[in-house]
Amino acid sequence: MDEVATLCNDVSLAVADSIKDLVGTQKGSEVVGMGADGTPSKFIDIAAEDAALEILASSGIDMKIVTEEKGHLTFGDAPEFTVVLDPLDGTYNATRDVPFYSVSIAIGDVNLTDIRYAEVYNLANGTNFTAAKNKGAFYNNKKIHVSHAAELDEFTVASYGYKDKSDVFKRLGRHVRRLRSFGSAALELSFVASGRLDAFVDLRSRLRIMDVAAGILIVKEAGGIVTDGHGQAPSGELNVTNRVDIVASNGMLHPVLEKTADVV
Ligand code: IPD
Ligand code: CA
């Protein structure tokens, strides 16, 4: 596991270096193509992904990779694991120099349910969140735990809504203390894990596996609960086009939160 942890952190550091002069620039925000996930790729996304892939390739380890821009890649004949990579989660923020964007890397096999190692690296301040299955979650190597808030009217919740899915703000807003939308799901999930937020709710069916694979393990290892909004563990093949719904929380009121956020 140490080898995997070092590899993930090396990827994060390389991405940080590759984008530092592109943050908040016109060049960084130029659309240069279409990503494998079906969304436009900006110059800064490609720079981040190229830097990440260079580190993964130079490790010499056989692996599969699922990544936002290039899609599915395989290095070698006998892949030891699958890397689920979002080289830059929070692209909009990075292009506008809003300091909330991250690298998200998860190590698994075939399904979102079998992720065994995760790192979310906060590119805006060089801190990181990590987790290994059954071994806990960490912020800069210090163990973290979800919050202890036990009343919905004390909760601070990061949430997303859009067009016909924007009612979630109204539904949650009636019951929780604060609503936020910071712009990097990977980092917001990590904030739930570390108790900075009490919950994260995104029921737009727009999140990709790459946005959440690492964050889900980090929340669970910090003692939180993550579901698909209907009581089930988020699942799905480690696939570039899959979309998921996520409710993550400190676990205190999870079913109540799911019910409050849902239309039905
Ligand atoms: C975005 C972030 C954001 C989420 C969007 C994603 P990107 O990732 O995860 O939190 O609300 O759905 O697209 O596109 O900036 O990597
Ligand atoms: Ca991205």
DSSP string over 64-121: EEEETTTEEEEESSS---EEEEEEEE-HHHHHHT-S--EEEEEEESSBGGG--EEEEE
Ligand nearest to C-alpha 214: 1
Average pLDDT over residues 79-105: 98
Mean pLDDT on 17-21: 98
Give 159's pLDDT tier (boundaries 50, 70, 90): very high
Protein residue with least CA distance to atom 12, ligand 1: 207
Instruction: Please say if the pLDDT value at position 264 is more than 70.
Output: no
Phi-psi bin for 9: left (phi > 0), alpha (psi -120 to 50), beta? alpha
pLDDT at 263: 64
pLDDT at 1 over 80: no
Ligand 1 closest atom vs CA 206: 12
Section 134-143 average pLDDT:
98
Partnered with residue 40 across adjacent β-strands are 34
Distance 151 CA to ligand 1 centre (A): 28
CA–CA separation, 9 vs 11, rounded Å?
5
pLDDT for the residue numbered 21: 98
CA-proximal residue: ligand 1, atom 1 (nearest)? 90
Residue 109: pLDDT band with limits 50, 70, 90? very high
Residue 164: which pLDDT band, with cuts at 50, 70 and 90? confident
Q: What residues are in contact with ligand 1 under a 6 Å CB criterion? A: 86, 88-92, 160, 183-185, 206-207, 211
Phi and psi dihedrals of 13, rounded to 5? -65, -35
Ligand 1, residues 31, 37, 42, 89: which to mutate, most atoms within 8 A of Cβ?
89
Instruction: Characterize 185-210 residue by residue with b for buried, 16 or more Cβ atoms within 10 angstroms of its Cβ, and e for exposed.
Output: bbbbbbbbbbbbbbbbbbbbeebbbb
The tokens describing 104, both together, are 């998200």
Sign of the CA dihedral 134, 139, 208, 78? negative
User: pLDDT value at position 47?
Assistant: 98
The structure tokens listed for 221 are 């290892």
How is the chain split into domains, by residue range? 2-143, 152-261
CA–CA separation, 40 vs 97, rounded Å?
A: 19
Query: How far, in Å, from the CA of 101 to the mean position of ligand 1?
Result: 9
Index of the ligand 1 atom closest to the CA of residue 86: 16
- Asked whether residue 220 carries a pLDDT value surpassing 90, the answer given is yes
Task: Find the mean pLDDT for residues 223-232.
Answer: 97
Q: Give the pLDDT mean for 34-39.
A: 92
Q: Which mutation among 44, 184, 206, 210 tests ligand 1's pocket best, with the greatest number of atoms within 8 A of CB?
A: 184
pLDDT at residue number 162: 87
Distance, CA 247 to ligand 2 centroid (Å)? 20
138 DSSP β-pair partners: 130, 143
Which CATH number is 2-143's, of 3.30.540.10, 3.40.50.1820, 3.30.1330.10, 3.10.20.440? 3.30.540.10
| CA-closest candidate to residue 55, choices 89, 29, 16, 27 | 16
Task: Quickly name the fold that domain 152-261 has.
Answer: D-Maltodextrin-Binding Protein; domain 2 (3.40.190)
Share of the chain above pLDDT 70, in %: 99
Q: Which two structure tokens, joined as six digits, stand for 135? A: 């071994």
Residue 162 near residue 140 (C-beta atoms within 8 A): no
Residues 143, 194 contacting (CB under 8 angstroms): no
- One-letter identity of residue 170: K
- Percent of the chain at pLDDT above 90? 96
In tens, the pLDDT along 167-200 reads 999 999 999 999 999 999 999 999 999 999 999 9
Give per-residue pLDDT as tens, 47-85. 999 999 999 999 999 999 999 999 999 999 999 999 999
Q: Would the pTM of this model clear 0.95, i.e. be above it?
A: yes
* Average pLDDT of span 102-118: 98
